Amino acid sequence: MIALRFIIVGGDFDRAGTASSETKKILKQLNIDPKVVKRTVVALYEGEVNIAAHAFRGVVNISVSDHQIQAILEDEGPGIDDISRAMLEGFSTASPKVREMGFGAGMGLPNMKKNADELLVESIPGEGTTVKMIFEF
Amino acid sequence: MKVSELVKELNLVVFSGGEGLCHEITGGYVSDLLSDVMGNACEGEVWVTLQTHRNVVAIASLKELACVLLVSSLVPEQNTMDHSNEEGIPVLGTSLSTFEIAGLLYEKIKKAG
């Protein structure tokens, strides 16, 4: 079992993608099916960007076992008031600045759902959000 | 067709990431929404966009795109070029608009394929 841990700082878009990029390198070294690597990386990147765009700070924990990759993204931030609404394609609460960069199109969580075999989103408004994703191989 | 051939044929500027000029092109994708590219672009595609920040290279690298092509004489930010050099993903430029370059690109890729 391999475990990786990354810290994400809210508002830091320059480093968004670091966790996905590092994870991709490790998964490739482990010779995991490239299709699974691609799905994992797409979903993980969206999760990273969500923390950068919405939260104050967050932690990404990745673990790789014989048959699955598990990603847990925990943040401290405003949380999500209505998760089912946040899952809808096109729904976004991103700031104008974030949207100008091409983020915040309301496609992040839907992309995560499409690419993960399991997606669980839990949130306490005013405290933070935890996203758990599983990728089977 | 390789990225280097596209650069010559369409008279493109190479800002950075020269190491990736040998990438083989499989198609093209036009979008300024990063999640759209993340979700729908495919490996080996030329990404035409007006976004110039560093995350463009991060996405291109994660998706293993052939290169990024900036339109309308836009210039990448310094950290975009730095990251492009690190990742070996070419960032190219053209003075043409998205519509014009997409048309030319489509013709070239269709002919080569």
The class level of CATH for B3-112 reads alpha beta
Q: Which of B33, B61, B63 sits opposite A102 (nearest CB)?
A: B33
The answer to whether B79 touches B57, Cβ cutoff 8 Å, is no
Q: Which amino acid is at A47?
A: G
pTM of the predicted model as reported, rounded to 2 decimal places: 0.95
Tell me what the pLDDT averaged over chain A comes to.
96
A113 within 8 A of A89, measured Cβ to Cβ: no
Domain boundaries, chain B: 3-112
Q: Rounded CA gap, B6 and A13, in Å?
A: 31
Most B CBs within 10 Å: which of A37, A39, A41, as the mutation test of the B interface?
A41
Q: Provide the pLDDT for residue B112.
A: 86
Report H helices in B51-97: 55-62, 78-87
**Residue of chain B with shortest Cα separation from A23:** B62
As a whole number of angstroms, the distance between CA B55 and CA B47 comes to: 13
Among candidates A20, A38, A103 on the partner chain, residue whose Cβ is nearest the Cβ of B34: A103
Which of B56, B62, B84 to mutate against chain A (most A CBs within 10 Å)?
B62
Residue A31 is given by DSSP the state: T
CA distance B38 to A113: 13
Tens of pLDDT, residue by residue over A69-113, are 999 999 999 999 999 999 999 999 999 999 999 999 999 999 999
Q: Which positions ≥6 away from B64 have C-beta within 8 Å? A: B43, B44
Percentage of chain A exceeding pLDDT 90: 98
Give this complex's ipTM. 0.92
Residue A119 burial (CB count, 10 A) = 18
Q: Is the CB of A45 less than 8 angstroms away from the CB of B39?
A: no
Is the pLDDT at A120 greater than 90, yes or no?
A: yes
The domains of chain A are located at 2-136
**CATH architecture observed for domain A2-136:** 2-Layer Sandwich (3.30)
| Nearest Cβ partner for B51 among A41, A102, A111 | A102
Taking the CA atoms of residue B56, residue B60, residue B65 and residue B69 in that order, the dihedral angle to the nearest 10 degrees is: 20
CB-based contact B40:B58 (threshold 8 Å): no
Residue B24 structure tokens: 């083989």
Q: Secondary structure of chain B: what % helix, strand, coil (to 5)?
A: 45, 20, 35
Interface size between A and B, measured as CB pairs under 8 A: 59
